Structure 1
Amino acid sequence: MKKKLVCTLLIAAGIGCLACSKTDNHSSAVTGTPVDASKNDTIKNTQVLSQGVLHQKGTALKSLCVISGNNLSAEQKVLVATLQGLVAKTSADQIYIDEGGPSAVWTSYMNSKYGITLTNYASWADLVTHFKSKISGYVLYNRTSNQRSLTAATALCGPMNAIAVDASLETAVIAAGISTRKADVRTRDEKWVYSNYPKAFSNVLAAELTPTINHHLRDYITLTNAFTFYDGETPWRKTVLKGLAPEAFCFGYGQEEFSMVSNAAEAGVVMLPTDLAANLAPLSSIYDNSAIRQQTPATPVPENNVHYVTFLVSDGDNIAYDLWSMQNYFSNPIRGSFNMGYTISPSLVDLAPAALRWYYENASAKDRFVAGPSGSGYTFPSKMPVSALDKYLSRLNTFMGKADLNIVNILDQGAIGRMDIWNKYLSQSNIDGLIYTGYGEAPNGSIQFADNGKPVIEARDNLWAGLEEEATAISNINSRPANPSSASGYTLVFVHTWTKDLASIKKVVDGLNANVRVVTPDVFVKLVKANLGNK
């Protein structure tokens, strides 16, 4: 079981008091009054964006207009984020909201690695003026009186080539020269949008995003014309997911994790946690054709009379985690002093290749990356229709090759024995092994082999506050056999990133017996296959 990314990004998300609305007497060009749905069929998703392995990307980036998130109110962040998406559709000159911390790492790296020029902007109005020619108008919402009006507005911005404007900002936006009101959804929600604009949205991407979030993900939604909703775990939610095309993804995050992933998987859709991911429109606009490669892998050194251990940190499937919290985790000065494994999303190849390359370039020889659950996105493979899983795995194999990853962390429930599924995963040429972590299940440390001899390795310990502390992990590992010829001679420790940091892991490492060998996940998989695969 995972813990949703919330703690470290709440401040960056700008969640808090909303701007007060104003009485509006502005006459609209297009209002939110219901109209004949057939007329809205004229608003169709006909745009063609560049595509990476799978995900859509912005126009090739050359320069960034950078604005500090500290200079923006909550509603101004919404406006700028939707402007980000519009601009990225056609312009090499784009917008970046600097949140500080890891956010600033990516702009600095894009400047030094790819020659992206950076220009600072002080206000949203300056950005609107600079990009006025890219804006056809605005969609009016009022988050104070109707939170779901923001969800409705976000969905319409891409198809209408408009920015989302809260009622409190309308007068200022008109003064800035954007006077065409494309739609008024102050009293509407996403269900009304879904019914009245049936052909306006991408059929390969939807986004589940709470209206309490300001700028995060709204830029990429606008770029891709993704339908946006936040309806809880309801039958209507399932209708939206089932209406998407094969190989579709749902970005964002739902209200309840297990139902969220189950609903999507059953519809053949993969979740990609991104609800707190900022700047995906410009980050996806980097086109990196040179190979992105991890550090040279270590060569296993087989020993007798030892117990092998590897550590793997959770939550790397979450793009927001990869762009923020993992960078902080990775910056710990003790990193590199012991062998360590990190989960990361292969989808970064499309969505943020600069960030993926930064991690690989800054890794030590003791750092190794594994694809997060359950591949290029978060799904329960056991719940996916067979045909959908087959398509997903074929595409995943390409992602794995592009991202130089060869191990996948599987997160599922009650599926450890489903060798019919794991054989399919391990038949892929770029996947050498699976690491299974059960959803809410006690880890048992089992090791199984696919028909082609590749291993499926279950976690044996969870280093997780409240479940297993450092002292227990040390005791458990030290009590196990020093016998690489037996499955009991191997321990995979799954680390809960939100409650245990590198200092916690080092405490375990320092407490292990002299005959315990801590190795990276790739070495661990190779040793398991070499020592147990023929038995």
Structure 2
Amino acid sequence: MRNSHTFIFFIATMLAVVTACGKKNTTEVAVVPPPGADTVVLKKGVLHQKGAALTALCVIPASSLTAEQKVLIATLQGVVAKTSGEQIYIDEGGASSVWKNYLSEKYKIRITNYTSWAELLRHFAPKVSGYVLYNRTKNIRSLTAANSLCGPMNAIAVDASLETAVITAGIKIKKADMRARDEKWIWEHYPATFSRSLAAEQNPAIDHHLRDYITLTNAFTFYDGETPWRVDVLKALQPEAFCFGYGKEEFSMVANAAAAGVVMLPTDLAANLAPLSSVYDEAPLKQQGRTTPAAEQNVHYVTFLLSDGDNVGYDLWSMQQYFSHPLRGTFNMGYTISPSLVDLAPAAMRWYYEKAANTDKGRDFFVAGPSGSGYTFPSKMPAAALDQYVQRLNTFMAKSDLNIVNILDQGALERMDLWDKYLAQPNIDALLYTGYGEAPGGSIRFSANGKPVIEAGDNLWAGLEEEATVISNINARPADPYSRSGYTLVFVHTWTKDMSAISTVIAGLNKNVRVVTPDAFVQLVRKNLGTK
């Protein structure tokens, strides 16, 4: 169980909440799409849709925008990114500024700064067909309904408080009035309107995050909790569909989606996905920290793996802050990261790989977050859906230079029928298993082709295992690389333990304990235990 999985990291730094996805109900009578429905066909990466090739950014600071102005500008981002290389970027500072600057330096993206949302709207007014009206104060779900229609109507979402100003800025056509509506009304009246490859479950209390990508991709948007209606929405999506955003309760959110053959992609707090996805970079992504470990006798091997990298919002914010810790690079470390960044934010993934530590003092190594290119419980997916998912994951792994997958599931450690499907893929060399709400057992087992499934041996997690406990547990285990008990995978809870905590554990370990990167750990397990 990841108590803080999506909710906590932005609460401490900016406004936050959560969301996910949806799609049209095939049981409804087909309805003609709304007048002037968008017909732009977007390019795709490995799987996810992308905006027009990025050439320039019009940047506006988030601090200059009110909540409803953020919604407006985010939906404008999505409309513009459908067809224009000149796009919009909301700069939130921190990691957000890091990506903006990297786009300028690495990809020579021209930057123009704006301080007025109205000026920005006037600049892009020719790209906009009109506006969809909502009133979040009187009906919070009217925003959810409006956001759904922005993409198909090529329109921006406008709160009632901004309507006059928007008309003054030159956007005079009201495409729809959702002030008294919600997403269920949209689902009933416009079932033929939305993308079938994704939907978005987005908390209506969130302002700009993800709303640009929702608009770009014509994603149906909802936020209903884990209800039968939500299941109907997910079942109406096509095979290989993803549900973006985040739901109200983690386990049931993921379990319900998995049972419908849909993979969750936590993105509810991901900003600027429209422009970030619009980077097209054919240069191969390459990890720097790969190494071939030297064989040693009478040692115990340990590797540390940081949690929550499946969350794209986390990858684009909190992980960058974690990565900036002064102790990074002073020891070997593993990080989970989403392979979907290959499509959604390739520049950010390249930044991590370029900045990764790669010296004898310490190396950084990346592993695909649970449970692959999105968050799912493989044990709850239909067999055919899982087959299709792991085959596509194999392509993501190659494109992102990843070769190990972190699996998060519950009560499924023994399910080698599932793990054999993953490990049959040529670009997946090992699985690192972390049980949802389960005590770590440290077991190691092998697929028929000799690839290992390695269970976490300890959780460095406040309230579960503190530093002293992890130190004591590891030091008590045998220094025997030819025994399964000679290896410990430590899963680090990113929300409660930082680099200082990991450094404290390492400092307390016996001299015959070796801390290695996850790739070296897997190589040693296969070499020393694979024939046993």
* TM-score over 0.5 for the pair: yes
Number of the residue aligned with 2:461:
464
**1:5 deviation in Å?**
2.2
My pick for the range that moved more, 295-304 or 487-496, is: 295-304
The 8 Å contact of residues 31 and 192 in structure 2, kept in 1 or not, is answered as: no
Instruction: Return the match for 1:193 from 186, 190, 193.
Output: 186
Contact kept? 1:462, 1:493, Cα under 8 Å: yes
User: SS in structure 1 opposite 2:9?
Assistant: coil
SS in 1 for 2:7: coil
- In structure 2, what is the Cα distance between the partners aligned to 1:287 and 1:346? 16
Match of 2:311 among 314, 318, 321: 318
1:103 to 96, 119, 128: 96
Code of the residue aligned with 1:385 in structure 2: it is P
Q: Mark the runs of 5 or more structure 2 residues left unpaired by the alignment.
A: 18-28
What is the CA distance between 1:13 and its match in structure 2? 4.9
Tell me if structure 1 keeps the 8 A contact 2:342–2:400. yes
Distance in 2 (alpha carbons) for counterparts of 1:473 and 1:239:
44
Aligned residues of 2:312 and 2:338 also touching (Cα < 8 A): yes
Whether 1:208 and 2:205 are equivalent positions in the alignment is: no
Deviations 1:404-436 (A, max 9, x none): 000000000000000001111001000000000
Contact kept? 1:37, 1:195, Cα under 8 Å: no
1:280 aligns with 2:281: no
Q: How does 1:229-248 map to 2 (within 5 A)?
A: 229-248=222-241
Matched, 1:297 2:290: yes
Shift in Å, 1:300: 1.1
Select which of 360, 371, 387 maps to 1:390: 387
Q: Is the 8 A contact 1:443 1:462 kept in 2?
A: yes
Structure 1: stretches of 5+ with no match in the other structure: 17-35
Amino acid of the residue matched to residue 245 of structure 1? Q
Distance (whole Å) between structure 2 residues aligned to residue 43 and residue 161 of structure 1? 8
For residues 189-215 of structure 1, what are the alpha-carbon distances to aligned partners after superposition, in whole Å with 9 as ceiling and x for unaligned?
000001101111000000000000000
Report how far residue 297 of structure 1 moved: 1.1
The answer to whether structure 1 residue 371 and structure 2 residue 368 are counterparts is yes
Q: 1:309 to 1:39 in 2, by over 3 A?
A: closer
Structure 1 residues 158-197: aligned runs within 5 Å? 158-197=151-190
Shift of 1:14: 4.0
Mapping for residues 405-484 of structure 1, pairs under 5 Å: 405-484=402-481
Please list the CA deviations of residues 57-115 of structure 1 after superposition, one character each: whole Å capped at 9, or x if unmatched: 00000000000000000000000000000000000000000000000000110101000
| Residue 137 (structure 1) aligned to one of 111, 127, 130 | 130
Q: Is the 8 A contact 1:311 1:341 kept in 2?
A: yes
Cα 1:396–1:39 shift into 2, 3 Å? closer
| TM alignment of 1:38-187, pairs within 5 A | 38-40=31-33, 46-187=39-180
Name the counterpart of 1:5: 6
The answer for the alignment partner of 1:525 in structure 2 is 522
Q: Tell me the C-alpha RMSD between the 2 structures.
A: 1.3
- Equivalent position amino acid for 2:101 in 1: S
Which aligned segments of 4 or more residues in structure 1 are displaced greater than 2 angstroms?
Answer: 3-8, 10-16, 36-47
SS at match of 1:9: helix
Deviation of the 1:12 alpha carbon: 5.8
Provide Cα deviations, 1:131-157, integer angstroms capped at 9, x if missing partner: 010010000000000000000000000
Q: 1:13 touches 1:276 (CA, 8 Å); kept in 2?
A: no
2:490 is matched with which residue: 477, 488, 493?
493
Alpha-carbon distance between aligned partners in 1 of 2:16 and 2:389, rounded to the nearest angstrom: 35
* 1:212 partner amino acid: A
For residues 450 and 288 of structure 1, what CA distance do their matches in structure 2 show?
Answer: 35
The alignment status of 1:271 with 2:272, answered yes or no, reads no
Which residue pairs with 2:330 in the alignment? 337
Change (3 A) 1:37 1:523: closer
Residue equivalent to 2:343: 350
The aligned amino acid for 2:421 is K
Give, as a single letter, the amino acid of the residue that structure 2 aligns with 1:58: G
**CA separation in 1, counterparts of 2:104 and 2:473?**
47
TM-score, structure 1 as length reference = 0.95
Equivalent-residue separation in structure 1 for 2:479 and 2:453 (angstroms): 21
Give 1:302 shift: 1.3
Residues 415 and 479 of structure 1: is their aligned pair in 2 closer, same or farther, counting only changes over 3 Å? same
Counterpart Cα distance in 2 of 1:520 and 1:53: 27
CA deviations on 1:282-325 (whole Å, 9 max, x unpaired) are: 00000000101000511111111100000000000000000000
The SS at the match of 2:148 is helix
CA distance in structure 2 between the partners assigned to 1:353 and 1:236 by the alignment: 34
AA partner of residue 246 (structure 2): Y
More RCO (CA 8 Å, sep 6+):
2
How many percent identity over aligned positions?
71
User: Partners in 2 of 1:40 and 1:423 — Cα distance?
Assistant: 44
Whether 1:534 and 2:531 are equivalent positions in the alignment is yes
Give, in whole Å, the separation in 1 of the partners of 2:12 and 2:404. Answer: 34
Cα distance in 2 between the residues matched to 1:234 and 1:45: 30
- Tell me the residue number matched to 2:24: none
**Closer, same or farther in 2 for the Cα pair 1:361/1:75, shift >3 Å?**
same
Query: Normalised by the size of structure 2, how large is the TM-score?
Result: 0.95
Q: Hey, what's the Cα distance between the residues in 2 that align with 1:293 and 1:181?
A: 48
Contact 1:12-1:99 within 8 A present in 2 as well: no
Name the CA distance, whole Å, in 2 between partners of 1:438 and 1:191. Answer: 35
Q: 1:186 to 1:11 in 2, by over 3 A?
A: farther
Distance 1:358 1:38 in 2: 45
Is 1:327 the counterpart of 2:328 in the alignment?
no
Rate the CA distance shift 1:408–1:15 in 2: closer, same or farther, 3 A: closer
Whole-Å separation in 2 of the counterparts to 1:8 and 1:500: 13
- Is residue 304–residue 492 contact of structure 2 (8 Å, CA) maintained in 1? yes
**Equivalent residue number for residue 400 of structure 1:** 397
Q: Is the Cα contact below 8 Å between 2:148 and 2:218 reproduced in 1?
A: yes
Q: 1:23 matched to which residue of 2?
A: none
Q: Hey, what's the Cα distance between the residues in 2 that align with 1:11 and 1:148?
A: 25
